[in-house]
Amino acid sequence: MSRIITTEVRKRGLFGKLVLLLFIDFNLFMGAWTSMFWAAATTQVGHARSAAHSAGMAIGTAVGTSIITIIWFLGAAILGSLALATRGKKITTTQTVD
């Protein structure tokens, strides 16, 4: 009795590979930026001179983190959509195995 095995593969072109690489690099950059921002913010909060200064730094850190998160989300959505759109044509191969 023979079986039919169907395999689907997508082959990216040069532009698709560049977009995917840009998407991955963007996410790595944003992760590094966020971690460096938090590292700098926690270092500065430890040197606060008063309670008001500490509260202001905490609010500023929250606002900065929100801005970075919004940029990250919008960039990932746009580049992710482009990466999905440039995945290439679907190539289907069929094999008959005995």
Instruction: pLDDT tens for the chain, 98 residues: list them.
Output: 788 888 888 888 999 999 999 999 999 999 999 999 999 988 877 777 888 888 888 899 999 999 999 999 999 999 999 999 998 888 888 888 87
Determine the Cα–Cα distance for residues 20 and 41; give it in Å rounded to an integer: 32
Task: Say what the pLDDT of residue 35 is.
Answer: 96
Task: Say what the pLDDT of residue 74 is.
Answer: 98
Instruction: Read off the pTM.
Output: 0.78
